[in-house]
Amino acid sequence: MYDWTIDGMLRAGFSKKMADYLHGLWKQEKESGLWAEEDLEWAHARGFLAESAVAYNLKEAEHIEDYLSDYEYYRIWPLNSWERIWINDKLTLKYMLAGTKYDRYMPKYFYYKTEDRLMPLMDCPEDCRHSSADAVALLVEREKKVACKPCNGALSVGFFELSYENETFYINGEVCGKEELRSFVEKHPNYIYTEYFVPSTQLGEIFPLIHTIRVLAIKDGEEKSKIAGGYLRFGTKDSGHANYMNSNSATVFAYDVKIDTESGRFSEGKAVYIDRIEDMPYHPDTNVLVEGTIDLWEEARDMVIGITEYLGLCEYMGFDICFTNKGVKIMEINSHSGIKHLQMRKPLLEEEWCRTYFAKKIEALDRLTSEEITKRNQLMR
């Protein structure tokens, strides 16, 4: 039986950070009215949130034990040691890969906005390399489109598209003047300004804004890095400039697609609501059949494995990659990415090597002394 109270989680070895987070999700779904009480009890008794149990169709699953539970996944955070700082924010990752053979897979980085100034970065054009807010306007005029996002964030929160067309500036498609653009820059510290991605012709025909492919890679000690799973997601007209919708109501869905991480074959589009999954083989806005094999997939796989080996002290990495008109690109790498959408397509514990990896992490927590548990409760980053 799982104890979903904060005190119970702390006794089980959770960090206070993750205990608070998971307890909040547990409480939110109990109060949502979306599930019958018996369904909530069934899922929670097995360590799963109700929304995960629905996404995995757990009541019909032949092998529930193949699915890593939400309770255990949040309990074993952090899977990476202190070296997770190498990937936890976009700017550090950029510098970690700069000058390596993997540098070409990163977007161009133009500026970073500190609390008090705009700092030109390595890919900033020479004539834009000054620290006034007007430099961004000059850059946007030159590039036509620039992406702007928090240096460390999640779920596509805070993403902006800055653009210039017909002598007019736009923020997320809304007209703005130079003064408004200057104000925007000043009001968004800890933001980076990067190359704007345009999807490859193949994937752009499905939806014109950039997609994301999440690929989970694991390096277990001396073993060669392996890919544990992945999925493809597309934006919709409702998701705006982001391609992820946090499905926290019965009327909002994310659009997910199965991908074979060996071959790059994709198919079986689904609308993922918080309380149900609906088959949707055609994109809901463009009505294009979402099916095919991704061009350059072998190169993308080699890149993921290569970077996982190169940053080998980070043993657990969730890559967000895309396929653009300039080739394969990395959006970011996550140190503890969500697993619901991954396990919808392939249970993480289905393969023996992956089951063993997670089992070792759980068993290590079960052996902790009370003093070690107290110390672990205090982990914040």
What secondary structure does DSSP assign to 17-78, as a single string? HHHHHHHHHHHHHHHSS-S-HHHHHHHHHTT--HHHHHHTTGGG-S-GGGSPPHHHHHHT--
**Residue 245 pLDDT:** 52
CATH classification at residue 292: 3.30.470
Residue type, 73: Y
Identify whether 164 is part of a domain.
Answer: yes
Shared domain for 286 and 224, answered yes or no, is: yes
**Same domain assignment for residues 97 and 29:** no
- Model pLDDT, residue 22: 97
Examine the domain organization and report whether 95 and 122 are in the same domain: no
pLDDT at 290: 98
Q: How far is CA 353 from the centre of its chain?
A: 23
Q: Lowest mean pLDDT: which of 82-86, 118-122, 191-195, 248-252?
A: 248-252
Cβ–Cβ contacts within 10 Å for residue 341, how many?
20
DSSP 8-state symbol, 164: E
Q: Do 186 and 263 fall within a single domain? A: no
In a domain, 11, yes or no: yes
Confidence category of residue 351, pLDDT binned at 50, 70, 90: very high
CA angle centred on 191, ends 187 and 193, rounded to 5°:
115
Handedness of CA 262, 235, 79, 9 (dihedral sign): negative
3-state helix, strand, coil in the chain (%, to 5): 35, 25, 40
Residue 229 placed within a domain: yes
Judge contact between 280 and 269, C-beta under 8 A: yes
Within this chain, do residues 56 and 117 fall inside the same structural domain, yes or no? no
What is the per-residue pLDDT for 317? 97
Question: DSSP states of 319-336 as a string?
Answer: EEEEEETTEEEEEEEESS
340 located within any domain: no
Q: What is the mean pLDDT of residues 191-211?
A: 96
pLDDT in tens, 230-256: 999 999 988 765 555 555 667 889 999
pTM of the model: 0.93
Q: pLDDT value at position 329?
A: 98
How high is the mean pLDDT of the chain?
93
Q: Is 93 in the same domain as 229?
A: yes
Please tell me the predicted confidence (pLDDT) of residue 130.
83
Residue pLDDT, tens place only, 271-285: 999 999 999 999 999
How many alpha carbons fall within 13 Å on the CB side of residue 272?
30
**Mean pLDDT for the stretch of residues 186-200:** 94
From 195, 210, 231, the end of a domain falls on 195
**Which DSSP letter does residue 289 get?**
B
226 and 299 fall within a common domain: yes
* 289 and 243, same domain (yes or no): yes
Same domain, 43 and 66: yes
User: For residue 1, is it within any domain?
Assistant: no
List C-alpha distances in Å: 353 to 14, 176, 233: 24, 53, 26
CB 294 within 8 A of CB 201: no
Note the pLDDT tens digit of each residue in 143-179.
Answer: 999 999 998 765 556 889 999 999 999 999 999 988 8
In percent, the amount of the chain with pLDDT more than 90 equals: 87
Q: How many domains does the chain have?
A: 3
pLDDT, tens digit (0-9, with 9 covering 90-100), for 315-328: 999 999 999 999 99
- Whether 237 maps to a domain, the answer reads yes
Q: What is the pLDDT of residue 154?
A: 55
Provide the domain limits for residue 127: 108-195
What are the angstrom distances between the C-alpha of 32 and each of 52, 73, 92, 204, 241?
15, 23, 38, 36, 28
341 belongs to a structural domain: no
* 95 in the same domain as 127: no
Q: What is the pLDDT of residues 49-89, one digit of tens each?
A: 999 999 999 999 889 999 999 999 999 999 999 999 999 89
Contact 241, 160 (CB under 8 A): yes
DSSP letter assigned to residue 99: T
Q: Assess whether 123 and 186 both reside in one domain.
A: yes
User: What percentage of residues in the chain have a pLDDT greater than 70?
Assistant: 96
Peptide bond into 199 cis (omega under 30): no
Instruction: Tell me how far the alpha carbon of residue 226 is from its chain's centroid.
Output: 18
Residues 148 and 283 in one domain: no
How many degrees, rounded to 5, is the angle at CA 352 between CA 347 and CA 357? 85
Residue 361 contacts residue 367 (beta carbons within 8 Å): no
Look at residue 343 and tell me if it is in a domain: no
